[in-house]
Amino acid sequence: MRTKSSATVDAAESTDPVASQLGVARLRLGWSLEEASARTRLHLNVIRRLEAGDFDKFPSVAYARGFLRIYSRELGLDPKKILRDFQPLSEPEDSILDLRPEMLESLPTRAAEPILTTRGIGLGVMGLVGVFVFSVVGIQLYRVWPVKSPKDPSTLAPIGAVEKSTLPSSAPAAGTSSSIPVAKQGEALSSLPMVQTSENNPTPAPAAPQQLRIKARKDTWVRIVAIRDGKEVQLFEDTIDEDDVVPAKDDPAWSGDAFVVTTREAADAEIIFNDSNFGPYEKPGPQTFRLPAGR
C-alpha cells in the first residue's frame, strides 16, 4: 500500500498529459512502479521519467518515442494516440533508436552479450577461428580449382564467353542447328558478336543485390544489418508501426549481398525478400537470422 500511494502521488504531480495517462493506466491495473518494470522489461528509471514527463532527460526524442510506444502498449493504451499527443521540445535528430541495455532490459540477442563471461568469450573466439578456417579453405579451393580445368585461363573471362565457348566444343552439331534457322544465312557461329550473345542470355550476368523490406503485423522492433563486400552496415534499428512497410513501397528497398535480421518478436514481422512476401520467420519470439539462409 505504501508503494501504491507513492505511485499515486507521482502520477498526480505530473502536468504532462501523456505522462498523466501513463500513470493513471498503471494505477488502474494496480501495478507498482517495480511491478510495471518487471512486466514491461523497462528499467525502473525509464518508467519514472515517462510518468513524470521528463522526456528531455533521454538522449534524444527517438528514445522517448520508442519507450512511450512500448510502455503504452503494455498498459493497454493506444500507442499511436500516445505518440500523437506527445509533443517533444525539439525535433528528433536521428530516426534510428539505439536502445541501451541499461534502459531496456529485454533487448534481443545483443543486449545479452555483455552478460557473457569467460564461456561467452571462448565461444566468440571459437567462432572467429571457424570463420578464419573456412576463409582459408575457400581461398585454397579458389586457387586450386582453375588448375584442374583443361581450358586456357583466357577462356575464363568474360563470364558469358565461358558458357558460349564450351557449347560448340561439347555439342557442335546442336549449336549449329539451333543458330541456322534463326539467321537463315550462311554466317558462321563464331562471327556473332560476343556481347550480343551475352545480352540474349541474361543468366551469365552478375547477380543483382538482394533486396529486403519488413512489414509489421503489429508494432514491432527490428534491427537490419546488410552485408556488402564482406562488411556489415547497419541500415535500421527502430520500432515499425502496425501495418507499416519499411522501407515504404515508394522508396528503394534495402540492398546488400546478404542481411542479418534481429527481431524482438519474429511473429510480428513479415519478410519481403526480393519482392516476395515470405511471411514471418518460422520461429516466434526474439530471433536473429540471416537472409538468404545459405549466405
CATH architecture entry for 210-291:
Sandwich (2.60)
Cell of 124: 566468440
Instruction: Report which of residues 278 and 15 the model is more confident about.
Output: 278
pLDDT in tens, 80-102: 999 998 876 544 444 444 444 44
Integer Cα distance of 172 and 226 in angstroms: 44
Cell of 87: 509533443
pLDDT in tens, 122-141: 677 777 877 776 666 566 55
Cell of 47: 518508467
pLDDT at 113 over 70: no
Pick the CATH number of 2-106 from 3.30.365.10, 3.30.420.40, 1.10.579.10, 1.10.260.40: 1.10.260.40
Q: Per-domain residue ranges for the chain?
A: 2-106, 113-151, 159-203, 210-291
pLDDT in tens, 269-278: 999 999 999 9
Mean pLDDT value across residues 277-284: 90
Mean pLDDT value across residues 162-181: 46
In whole angstroms, how far apart are CA 34 and each of 14, 15, 199, 225? 19, 22, 66, 34
Structure pTM? 0.35
pLDDT at 261 over 70: yes
Q: How confident is the model at residue 21 (pLDDT cuts 50, 70, 90)?
A: very high
| Of the candidate ranges 38-52, 73-87, 188-202, 219-233, the one whose mean pLDDT is the lowest | 188-202
